[in-house]
Amino acid sequence: MRVLGIEGTAWAASAAYFDSETDGVLIDSDPYQPGSGGIHPREAAEHMSEAIPRVIERVLSEADQVDVVAFSRGPGLGPCLRIVASAARALAQSLDVPLVGVNHMVAHLEIGRHRSGFTNPVCLNASGANAHVLGYHNGRYQVLGETMDTGVGNALDKFARHLDWSHPGGPKIEDRAKDGEYVPLPYVVKGMDFSFSGIMSAAKDAVEAPSTGNRNSSSSGDAVDSGERIEDVCFSLQETVFAMLAEVSERALSLTGSDELVLGGGVGQNARLRGMLAEMCDARGASFHAPEPRFLRDNAGMIAVLGAKMATAGDTLPIEESRVDPNFRPDEVDVTWRGGESVSRPTTDAEEVIGAEAVVDLGEDVSKRRRPKRYRHPDLDARLRRERTASEARLTSLARREGVPTPTVRDVDLREGTIVLERVGRADLSAGITPERVRELGGHLATLHGAGFVHGDPTPRNVRISPERTYCIDFGLGYHTDETEDHAMDLHVFERSLAGTAAAFEVCRAAFEAGYREAGDEAVLDRLREIEGRGRYR
């Protein structure tokens, strides 16, 4: 099959020709370069209207035959999307070939799966307006985790604009970071979700205030000294932001049991991010693939490749139904070109388990060792291991006193990041997710919230089950809070992980919320609905 792909979601006017028999991809792109600041929607649309005909003409001059026209249907800037869609419709009609509408974000991850040859990987999308961790389950790419505020590329660009650097800012930050040293910045991970707003505010504050001549930063990382060198802040931005992305990717691998990770999105061109992910996967014995740069930045090649898969599956669009969707989320796409497999693998207890946070030795007791993560800066890594070990010991014991089944803490070594606990349960909840079990868990989380703290990472891998009881384990990301927002995020983390692992998600979600409602605050469930609407492109 020979496909002409057209991409134009924001800044890159691009056309490509893909021949599925040879696997050859020809790409021609004409990116928009703003004179100052970030992308201006009106200027981007003007550029798109001028550049799209040119790139299509150049690609068609090299094409033998076109069997399908595929275009980026969303997400993106509405005016740009409409220009591309109009060009695609006109071309499909003039050539009398089928039309395919492609989700831009799914194309980012599918090109990685296609080029890697992986069967069912976890996918990290790190692009300008987005950051997602996804896995294929129940016929869709489920969002296991995502940014709760701004996309990773946009966050870096905002910092660069603060310094009056031209767009795009990411490569300039990467270049200045080469001569930097580490200074603490906020680090916000909630299960597999994350936030960049706090770190960007701290980074801006760090470079604009008068220098104090010292670096006595808070040990919690919630503040940095004023007047830091720009090189140091750039270095620390990369170390912190990319460590967050690597951590949530590892947590997704641990949750699903997958041993494959692919990277997509323009920020994936950053060598430090690719290096962190490769180191993380190597330590886990997992395989990692990042496509070549021309397939990472916005491009029509990925649109054409996915367009071929969709057309082969019969997933084409009548012209009258080919409207664009600026808010088109990846988890809204019915994946017609794949079978019924799932990224989630069955899990069984072994003598040694490599989790996202620690290596766990299962004997008469359980010994958890938060070994240093090579991909993280040593100072950041030491702080996280110490804080999370202390949190796990403290909150495990506190939850037990509140009546929630947890293991007894036998011993703690904060310096080594080691904790010894009673061995509880016969298996993880992930090995036997049922409505009855998740209903019980909902009640447990309501009890924790009533006591003024959250679990922080309540996934099916952090719940143990026996015939009689359902236990909560691994409170390393937990913290004290009475905020409704934090309690709702705890529920959101569980439901997101449930969507990527449970066979009967809707039934289990209803049972989970019923269990919470019986013992908890209805306002938390109301806030949960609000949080669900905050995902990118809602």
Cα dihedral sign, 450-452-457-462: negative
Whether 370 is covered by a domain: the verdict is: yes
| CATH code for position 417 | 3.30.200.20
The answer on 410 and 434 residing in a single domain is no
Whether 342 is covered by a domain: the verdict is: no
Contact between 449 and 492 (Cβ < 8 Å): no
The answer on 195 and 73 residing in a single domain is no
Whether 411 is covered by a domain: the verdict is: yes
Whether 131 is covered by a domain: the verdict is: yes
| CATH code for position 304 | 3.30.420.40
Segment (H or E) for 160: helix 152-162
Choose among 490, 460, 464, 474: nearest CA to 393. Answer: 474
Domain boundary among the residues 364, 390, 422 is at 422
DSSP letter, residue 457 = -
Whether 374 is covered by a domain: the verdict is: yes
Look-up of token digits 């060198």: 229
Whether 347 is covered by a domain: the verdict is: no
The answer on 139 and 263 residing in a single domain is yes
The answer on 245 and 366 residing in a single domain is no
| CATH code for position 444 | 1.10.510.10
Domain boundary among the residues 390, 422, 454 is at 422
The answer on 325 and 365 residing in a single domain is no
First to last CA, the chain: 34
The answer on 107 and 34 residing in a single domain is yes
Whether 365 is covered by a domain: the verdict is: yes
Segment (H or E) for 465: strand 463-465
Cα dihedral sign, 151-387-400-500: positive
State yes or no: is 175 an active-site residue: no
The answer on 433 and 412 residing in a single domain is no
The answer on 445 and 406 residing in a single domain is no
CA dihedral 350, 351, 355, 359 (to 10 degrees): -170
Tens-digit pLDDT profile for the chain (538 aa)? Answer: 999 999 999 889 999 999 999 999 999 999 887 766 667 778 889 999 999 999 999 999 999 899 999 999 999 999 999 999 999 999 999 999 999 999 999 999 999 999 999 999 999 999 988 899 999 999 999 999 999 888 899 999 999 999 989 888 899 999 999 999 999 999 999 999 999 999 999 999 998 754 444 333 333 334 444 579 999 999 999 999 999 999 999 999 999 999 999 999 999 999 999 999 999 999 999 999 999 999 999 999 999 999 999 999 999 999 999 999 999 999 999 999 999 889 998 766 667 788 888 999 989 999 999 999 999 999 999 999 999 999 999 999 999 999 999 999 999 999 899 999 999 999 999 988 999 999 999 999 999 999 999 999 999 999 999 999 999 999 999 999 999 999 999 999 999 999 999 999 999 999 999 999 999 999 999 999 999 887 654 4
The answer on 66 and 102 residing in a single domain is yes
The answer on 182 and 96 residing in a single domain is no
Return the number of other C-beta atoms located less than 10 Å from residue 164's C-beta: 8
Domain boundary among the residues 403, 422, 441 is at 422
Q: Which domain holds residue 381?
A: 352-422
The answer on 313 and 286 residing in a single domain is no
The answer on 274 and 230 residing in a single domain is yes
Whether 339 is covered by a domain: the verdict is: no
How many structural domains are present in the chain? 4
Q: Pick the catalytic residue from 19, 30, 157, 457.
A: 457
Distance CA(499)–CA(132), nearest Å, equals 14
